[in-house]
A and B are shown apart, each in its own frame.
Chain A
């Protein structure tokens, strides 16, 4: 097995025919980890394993974010009630293949998973008033067909542009395919001016999918409230600052903003939303 030295098993629950949902830190709006945190709070989970950071992250010190020290974490959670495994992790900085194979070792050998889903946010130039979309990339026909039951298949075509690299989720899909494990990455475009804060509508879009797929029985009232609350707050910014209103109207009309206008919109929205938190 790939990196069992780095794996710390705390307990071995009786997994049945689980699925694994993966959320990475550092995607747009931290959507992946927000979805995992939300599910953790709703499903009554326990931590059963984690990957030690030593081989995968530079440990020459710690970073500080929003006044708080950060430290890489890579933890597996299990919901006995729903037979669902969740994995929340920072993206490793080296030994990616070994790291992903350690995740797959846990998924395959301990949890006997039949499907893996990764969650990610991507930057969108649309306005927040547009409905959130859900895009999926699968690693096999089997999972693609399964996905089709719960959302309209958009049949996306994509190739990494020069100077950029594939996502870690694509790397995981490829590694899972090599072990004949069905996997898909789910992406929700997040309006660019919500990246520094949060986008509950994007979060809801993913949870809705997972709820249908795994019969989680989620009560969406809190998410609906969060979406409504944010929309109201942005409406107040638009009312108070005609310039912000004008920028968002541009986006609603499918017009683009200049770099300067975009930066101003991000700043105004971030300041206002953080102030009224």
Chain B
């Protein structure tokens, strides 16, 4: 099973949705939404309420020569009190429902996907951070191309957090003894708070998933989306004030592959970048 809920840069969502579409997976069922979500749209015609639409949480299925694939795509994470990511009772209930379906269909492995906020430049090829829910999967992950473990990342020492349901699902799967891996595409720290998609990281995730699942993928459409997104990010980047860009330019040299070497950017630099970006967007970029 490959499962995903929305998160930063829509990285996981784009990757999983692309994979689902490429395989032409068919809708299998859904989790009834009303106990989890507030409605997202009402349609009134001629004074009469015709439709009340809720965020969807749907399962899709595809049988292939390489095996059977079950997809789960959640349009929204169930939250209490307007938080961005799921937590608490509702999130746990939803994670259990998804795992119930996975077990019912005999899934051997679950992948989830999300974003990894990293001190990288947007011109870099995003790496994929992979976190398994059992040690047994570490050697397999080490064979994936362009992929790193938490312990490969400077100053992390194998520690970290995966926010929301993309992480919680791994925990619930662990409790039920199902192997799971969360694959997270890197997004530059200065893009994390913006309401934009980052499909370049989705491509990295998709490449890892395709290799892991033994699926051939056609990236033509996604590449077109990436080209468009890169143009927009470049335009935005050009409008950053020189003092912010000076910091961001340092990120061009960042690599995670050398955990023992001091990086070209310090924690203080990271903090300063985030503060400056925050100030810049609060003030509003100047129009040309």
Q: Which residues of A contact B52 (CB under 8 A)?
A: 166, 170-171, 174
**Known interface pairs A158-B42, A159-B41, A160-B42; A97-B49 also in contact (CB < 8 Å):** no
Give the tally of cross-chain contacts (CB within 8 A). 69
Q: Which residues of B contact A48 (CB under 8 A)?
A: none
Q: Which residue of B lies closest to A158 (CB)?
A: B44
User: Within the assembled complex, what's the spacing in Å between the Cα atoms of A92 and B38?
Assistant: 11
Complex contact B81–A58 (CB within 8 A): yes
User: Within the assembled complex, what's the spacing in Å between the Cα atoms of A167 and B60?
Assistant: 31
Complex contact B41–A166 (CB within 8 A): yes
User: Within the assembled complex, what's the spacing in Å between the Cα atoms of A144 and B48?
Assistant: 8
Which one of A32-40, A132-140, A234-242 contacts B?
A132-140
A183 to chain B, nearest CB (A): 9
**Contact with B48, one of A98, A138, A166 (Cβ below 8 angstroms):** A138
User: Within the assembled complex, what's the spacing in Å between the Cα atoms of A171 and B82?
Assistant: 18
Most A-side CB within 10 Å, residue of B40, B46, B48: B48
Q: How many residues of chain A get a CB closer than 8 Å to chain B's CBs? A: 30
Q: Which residue of B lies closest to A177 (CB)?
A: B49
Confirm or deny: A260 has a beta carbon within 8 angstroms of a beta carbon on chain B.
Answer: no
Confirm or deny: B43 has a beta carbon within 8 angstroms of a beta carbon on chain A.
Answer: yes
Confirm or deny: B154 has a beta carbon within 8 angstroms of a beta carbon on chain A.
Answer: no
Confirm or deny: A157 has a beta carbon within 8 angstroms of a beta carbon on chain B.
Answer: yes
Q: Which residue of B lies closest to A148 (CB)?
A: B47
Q: Mark B55-90, 1 if CB is under 8 A from A, else 0.
A: 000000000000000000000000011100000000
Confirm or deny: B259 has a beta carbon within 8 angstroms of a beta carbon on chain A.
Answer: no
Q: Which residues of B contact A229 (CB under 8 A)?
A: none
**Known interface pairs A137-B44, A159-B43; A93-B49 also in contact (CB < 8 Å):** no
Q: Which residues of B contact A93 (CB under 8 A)?
A: 80-82
**Known interface pairs A94-B81, A170-B52, A174-B52; A154-B38 also in contact (CB < 8 Å):** no
Q: Which residue of A lies closest to B39 (CB)?
A: A166
Q: Which residues of B contact A97 (CB under 8 A)?
A: 34-35
A89 to chain B, nearest CB (A): 16
Q: Which residues of A contact B49 (CB under 8 A)?
A: 137-139, 170, 173-174, 177
**Known interface pairs A170-B39, A171-B38; A94-B80 also in contact (CB < 8 Å):** yes
A23 to chain B, nearest CB (A): 19
Confirm or deny: B45 has a beta carbon within 8 angstroms of a beta carbon on chain A.
Answer: yes
Q: Which secondary structure dominates chain B's binding surface?
A: loop
Q: Which residues of A contact B47 (CB under 8 A)?
A: 136-138, 144, 153-156
User: Within the assembled complex, what's the spacing in Å between the Cα atoms of A154 and B46?
Assistant: 8
User: Within the assembled complex, what's the spacing in Å between the Cα atoms of A96 and B36?
Assistant: 9
Complex contact A159–B48 (CB within 8 A): no
User: Within the assembled complex, what's the spacing in Å between the Cα atoms of A166 and B44?
Assistant: 11
Q: Which residue of B lies closest to A143 (CB)?
A: B48
Q: Mark A73-108, 1 if CB is under 8 A from B, else 0.
A: 000000000000000000001111110000000000
Q: Which residues of A contact B38 (CB under 8 A)?
A: 96, 165, 171
User: Within the assembled complex, what's the spacing in Å between the Cα atoms of A159 and B41?
Assistant: 7
Where the two chains meet, the residues of B that have a C-beta atom closer than 8 Å to any C-beta of A are: 34-35, 38-49, 52, 80-82
Can you list 27 A-B contacts (CB < 8 A)?
Answer: A93-B80, A93-B81, A93-B82, A94-B80, A95-B35, A96-B38, A138-B47, A138-B48, A141-B48, A153-B47, A154-B47, A157-B45, A158-B42, A159-B42, A159-B44, A160-B41, A166-B39, A170-B39, A170-B42, A170-B44, A170-B52, A171-B38, A171-B39, A171-B52, A173-B49, A174-B39, A174-B52
Q: Give the 4 A-B CB pairs with smallest separation, nearest first.
A: A166-B42, A174-B52, A158-B44, A97-B34
Where the two chains meet, the residues of A that have a C-beta atom closer than 8 Å to any C-beta of B are: 58, 93-98, 136-141, 144, 153-160, 165-167, 170-171, 173-174, 177
